[in-house]
């Protein structure tokens, strides 16, 4: 549950809920290996949902969220020290998380904005010897290096139509927050991003980012990443747009004594074409996407390629809409999900009056190791009363769903995906 309100220049926000992360560990501490890690992205294993981490946070202060403001926040969370079965005795497998935050924004001018954010976190674990759990919120004021800070300056130059963003971020090795469990600790990053409008139809975005870990020299290895990115968008006509991106990532790993050094050069490229012809009786849109990842590891160079083509077709006076997509994924090397996966999806939607809509679809996927698999999907959107509506969907998964990150064992364990929403509009 997330609630936010602004009134007379004062902001207040409240959040309460559960969070669960199954990305427990990496099997390569020096360099995360995509080929080995991809099957650990088990999005649908909610076995431990009853033991998930519960969080409650409140944030308030003067000033609007998008304007000049000074907001203060506190987060409180409880959870287990480890979600690996029997890794820690139950009596000790319990911890609390306290986080304080100061969030400031200064709108210098309409075109220049400065953001300043600071947070400090504390993790208290159950221990009969130390009694850490008794410290409470005061624990965040301990001298432990558990700080996190972000500085961002955004400037828009109207004369040259340039938007420039400068960002610096520092996260201490012992910073952990249940509210942003995906953020890496022990990381320093600075980034320069420029968005340049060249003509009405051409826009170029460039990026330079550098980061490193091992900030306090606690470990023998230090990893540094340098990313250089460029994205180009060209609107060739009213119906045809082309986008292209290229991002080399340079990785170096060094030891304190200089006895070991690793240098990897990775390349990430993508190409997107959008075509929406203007026809008299029907509305249609075509999208084609090609991605190429060349990722180096200690053992080999992994090549990932993905091609996706989809089309949406609907008569201008028809309640029916047809969506067709084809996706092909390839990778070299050996993998438990196979090297080639083709996935085809056809979905038909029917829109009734007053906002009611139903969809039905079929899926077919072929993998070089597993052969053909078939699935289906059902979706519904139904207004209940004024301002309120509900949405529900049900799918049978096949190999290839969710960018091949879901392995066959996970699909066989529970081959369905269900979701529901309650929507309030006013």
- The pLDDT value recorded for residue 225 is 92
- For residue range 3-17, list pLDDT tens digits in order: 999 998 899 999 999
Higher pLDDT, residue 124 or 233? 233
Could you give the CA distance from residue 423 to residue 408 in angstroms, rounded to a whole number?
A: 34
- The pLDDT value recorded for residue 402 is 56
Q: What is the mean pLDDT of the chain?
A: 84
- For range 146-156, the mean pLDDT: 96
Q: For residue 176, count CB atoms less than 10 angstroms from its CB and return exposed for 0-12, middle for 13-18, buried for 19 or more.
A: buried
Q: What secondary structure does DSSP assign to 339-398, as a single string?
A: SEEEEEEEEEEEE-GGG-EEEEEEEEEEETTTEEEEEEEEEEEEEEETTEEEEEEEEE--
Segments making up each domain of the chain, as ranges: 1-145+171-182
Query: Cα dist. 78→16, 18, 23, 177, 283 in Å?
Result: 12, 10, 18, 11, 51
- For range 404-426, the mean pLDDT: 74
Could you give the CA distance from residue 99 to residue 122 in angstroms, rounded to a whole number?
A: 6
Coil vs helix vs strand at 266: strand
Lookup: tokens for 45: 């294993």
Could you give the CA distance from residue 233 to residue 273 in angstroms, rounded to a whole number?
A: 10
Enter the DSSP assignment of 181.
Answer: T
Higher pLDDT, residue 65 or 29? 65
- The pLDDT value recorded for residue 70 is 97
Close Cβ partners of 418 (under 8 Å, ≥ 6 residues apart): 392, 393, 394, 395
pLDDT band at 44 (very low <50, low <70, confident <90, very high): very low
- The pLDDT value recorded for residue 360 is 97
Given a contact cutoff of 8 angstroms between Cβ atoms, the answer to whether 88 and 62 are in contact is no
* pLDDT > 70 in the chain, percent: 83
- For range 377-381, the mean pLDDT: 95
């Amino acid at each position: 549950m997330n609630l936010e309100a602004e009134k007379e220049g004062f902001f207040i926000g409240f959040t309460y809920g559960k969070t669960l992360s199954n990305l427990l560990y990496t099997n390569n501490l020096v360099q995360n290996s995509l080929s080995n890690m991809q099957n650990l992205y088990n999005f649908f294993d909610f076995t431990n949902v009853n033991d998930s981490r519960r969080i409650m946070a409140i944030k308030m202060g003067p000033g609007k969220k998008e304007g000049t403001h000074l907001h203060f926040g506190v987060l409180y969370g409880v959870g287990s020290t480890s979600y690996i079965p029997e890794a820690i005795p139950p009596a000790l497998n319990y911890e609390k998380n306290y986080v304080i935050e100061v969030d400031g924004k200064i709108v210098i001018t309409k075109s220049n904005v400065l953001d300043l954010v600071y947070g400090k976190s504390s993790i208290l674990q159950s221990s009969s010897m130390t009694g850490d759990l008794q410290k409470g919120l005061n624990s965040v004021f301990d001298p432990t290096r558990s700080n996190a800070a972000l500085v961002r300056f955004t400037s828009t130059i109207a004369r040259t139509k340039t938007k420039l963003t400068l960002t610096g971020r520092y996260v201490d090795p012992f910073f952990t927050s249940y509210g942003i469990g995906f953020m890496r600790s022990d990381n320093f990053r600075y980034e320069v991003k420029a968005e340049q409008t060249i003509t009405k139809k051409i826009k170029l975005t460039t990026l330079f980012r550098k980061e490193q870990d091992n900030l306090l020299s606690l470990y023998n290895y230090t990893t540094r990443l340098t990313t250089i990115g460029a994205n180009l968008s060209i609107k060739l006509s009213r119906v045809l747009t082309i986008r292209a991106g290229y991002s080399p990532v340079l990785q170096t790993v060094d030891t304190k004594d200089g006895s070991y050094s690793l240098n990897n050069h990775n390349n990430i490229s993508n190409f997107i074409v959008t075509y929406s012809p203007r026809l008299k009786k029907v509305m249609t849109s075509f999208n084609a996407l090609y991605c190429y990842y060349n990722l180096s590891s200690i053992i080999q160079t992994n090549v990932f390629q993905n091609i996706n083509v989809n089309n949406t077709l609907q008569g201008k006076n028809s309640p029916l809409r047809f969506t067709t997509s084809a996706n092909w994924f390839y990778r070299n090397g050996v993998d438990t999900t196979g090297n080639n996966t083709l996935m085809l999806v056809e979905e038909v939607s029917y829109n009734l009056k007053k906002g009611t809509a139903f969809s039905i679809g079929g899926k077919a996927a072929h993998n070089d190791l597993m052969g053909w698999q078939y699935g289906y999907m059902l979706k519904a959107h139904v207004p209940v009363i004024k301002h309120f509506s509900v949405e529900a969907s049900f799918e049978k998964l096949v190999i290839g769903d969710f960018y091949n990150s879901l392995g066959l064992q996970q699909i066989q364990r529970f081959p369905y995906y269900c979701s529901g929403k309650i929507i309030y509009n006013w």
